[in-house]
Structure 1
Amino acid sequence: MKKYNNSTLDEWKLPHPVYNFEVADADNDGQEDIWVGVIKTTRFDTTMRKRLFLFKIIEGKIRPLWLGSRMSKPLVDFSPAYTFDSLSNTKKCIIRTIEREESGNFLVGNYKWKKFGVEFIKYEIRETDSISAYKLLEK
C-alpha cells in the first residue's frame, strides 16, 4: 500500500510480463474493473501463454475477480466490447477476444461475466486473418 496526495493507493504486483491493460466494467455491476493480459504458465497448463486477469476495486483495494487460465482457444488479445440488452434497456460489457485456431488462423470470440468466471457467448468470426480479427476487436 502506498500513500499518494493524502489518499491511499493500493497496488498489486504482477511478476509476469503484461501484454495488454484495459479498464471496463467486466461484471456489469456499475464499477469499472481492471483487465490485465499476462504471459505465464498455470498449474494445469505448463506452457507459457497469454492469460486474462480481471481485478475489482473493493473499498479502495485491488482484489482478483478472475485469474483466467484459458479461453476456448489460445488467447492472442482481448478488449472490452459493448452490446445492447433490449430486455433491461441497458448497455452491457462483454469480453471480446482474438484466439488462435488450430489451423493457425484466428477467431474473434465473445464472452460474458457469469458469477465466478466467464461464459462463452458466440464467435463473431472464425478462420480469419489477424488484420480482420483486429478490426473486429476494435469495434
Structure 2
Amino acid sequence: GGSKKRKKKREAEREKQKERSRRKEAEGKKKKERSRRKEEEGKRQKERGRKKEAERKKQKERSKRKEAKGKKQKKRSKRKEAKEKKQKERSKRKEAKGKKQKERSKRKEAKGKKQKERSKRKEAKGKKQKERSKRKEAKGKKQKERSKR
C-alpha cells in the first residue's frame, strides 16, 4: 500500500516544481518589462535633451540676428547723422556766401552813390567857374568901355 502515498508525494513535488517554474517565468517577464520601460524612459530623456539643444541653438541664432540688425541700424543712423551734418554745413556755407554777396552789392551801390555825388559837385563847381569867368569878362568889357570914353 505504500505506492499510492509515493505517487501522491511525487504529484505534489511535480506541482511544486510547476509553481516554481511559473513564478520564475513571471519574474523574468516582470524583469523584461522593467528593462523595456527603463529603455523607453532613456529614449524619451534623450529626445528631450535633443529638443532642448535645438531650442538653445535656435535662440542663439535669433539673438545673433538681432545683434546684427542692431549693428546695422546703428550704422545706418550714424550715416544719416553724418549726412545731416554735411547738409547743415552746406546750407551754412551757402548762407554765408549769400551774406557776403549782399555785403558786396551794398558796398558797390554805396560806391556808385558817392561817385554820383562827386560828379554832381564837380558839375556845380564847373558852372560856378563859368559864371565867375562870365562876370569877369563883362567887368573887363565895362572897364574898356569906360576907358574909351
TM-score (norm 2): 0.12
Tell me which structure has the larger Cα radius of gyration.
Answer: 2
Higher relative contact order (Cα pairs below 8 Å, separated by 6+ residues): 1
Bigger proportion of residues as helix: 2
TM-score (norm 1): 0.12
Bigger proportion of residues as strand: 1
